[in-house]
Amino acid sequence: MPQQKSKSTKARRRRGMNAPEHGPPPKRRRRLDPEDREREIVDGAVAFFAEVGFDGGLRDLATRLGITHQNLFRYFPTKEALIERVYKEMYLDRWQPEWETVLRDPTKPLEARLIDFYESYLAAIFRYDWVRIFVFAGLKGVGISQRYLDLVQKRVIEPLAIELRRAAGLPDGAALSREELEIAWGLHGELFYLAVRRWVYDMKTPDHLGPVVKAAVARFLKGAPAAMRALNAASAGSERGGAGDTPGRTTDRRSRRIAAPQPVRPR
Partner DNA sequence: CAATCTAATTACCGGTCGGTAAGTAAATTC
Partner DNA sequence: GAATTTACTTACCGACCGGTAATTAGATTG
Residues near DNA (CB under 7 A) are 2-3, 5-6, 9, 12, 15, 28-34, 37, 56-60, 66-71, 73-74, 77-80
Which one, 83 or 230, has the nearer CB to its own copies? 230
Residue 133, contacted partner among DNA, its own copies, none, CB below 5-8 A by kind: none
Sole window of 7-15, 37-45, 71-79, 208-216 interacting with its own copies (rule: CB under 8 A): 208-216
Binding mask 16-55 for its own copies (x = CB under 8 A): -------------------------------------x-x
Residue 139, contacted partner among its own copies, DNA, none, CB below 5-8 A by kind: its own copies
Q: Please report whether residue 209 would count as binding its own copies according to CB under 8 A.
A: no
Q: Which of residues 146-205 bind its own copies (CB under 8 A)?
A: 146, 149, 153, 178-179, 182-183, 185-194, 196-197, 200-205
Helix/strand/coil (H, E, C) string of the chain? Answer: CCCCCCCCCCCCCCCCCCCCCCCCCCCCCCCCCHHHHHHHHHHHHHHHHHHHCCCCCHHHHHHHHCCCHHHHHHHCCCHHHHHHHHHHHHHHCCCCCHHHHHHHCCCCCHHHHHHHHHHHHHHHHCCHHHHHHHHHHHHHCCHHHHHHHHHHHHHHHHHHHHHHHHHCCCCCCCCCEHHHHHHHHHHHHHHHHHHHHHHCCCCCCCCCHHHHHHHHHHHHHHHHHHHHHHHCCCCCCCCCCCHHHCCCCCCHHHHCECCCCCCCCCC
Residue 71, contacted partner among its own copies, DNA, none, CB below 5-8 A by kind: DNA
Residue 55, phi then psi, degrees to nearest 5: -85, -5
Question: What is the size of the binding site for its own copies (CB under 8 A)?
Answer: 70
Distance CA 48, CA 169 (A): 49
Q: How far is CA 122 from CA 16, 52, 114, 215, in A?
A: 34, 23, 12, 15
Which one, 107 or 246, has the nearer CB to its own copies? 246
We find the least distance from the C-beta atom of residue 106 to DNA, in angstroms, to be: 50
User: Pick from 58, 62, 176, 227: which binds its own copies (CB under 8 A)?
Assistant: 227
Residue 132, contacted partner among DNA, its own copies, none, CB below 5-8 A by kind: its own copies
Q: Please report whether residue 217 would count as binding its own copies according to CB under 8 A.
A: yes
* Residues engaged in binding its own copies (CB under 8 A): 53, 55, 111, 128, 132, 135-136, 138-141, 145-146, 149, 153, 178-179, 182-183, 185-194, 196-197, 200-207, 210-212, 214-224, 226-227, 230-231, 240, 242-246, 249, 258, 260, 262, 264-265, 267
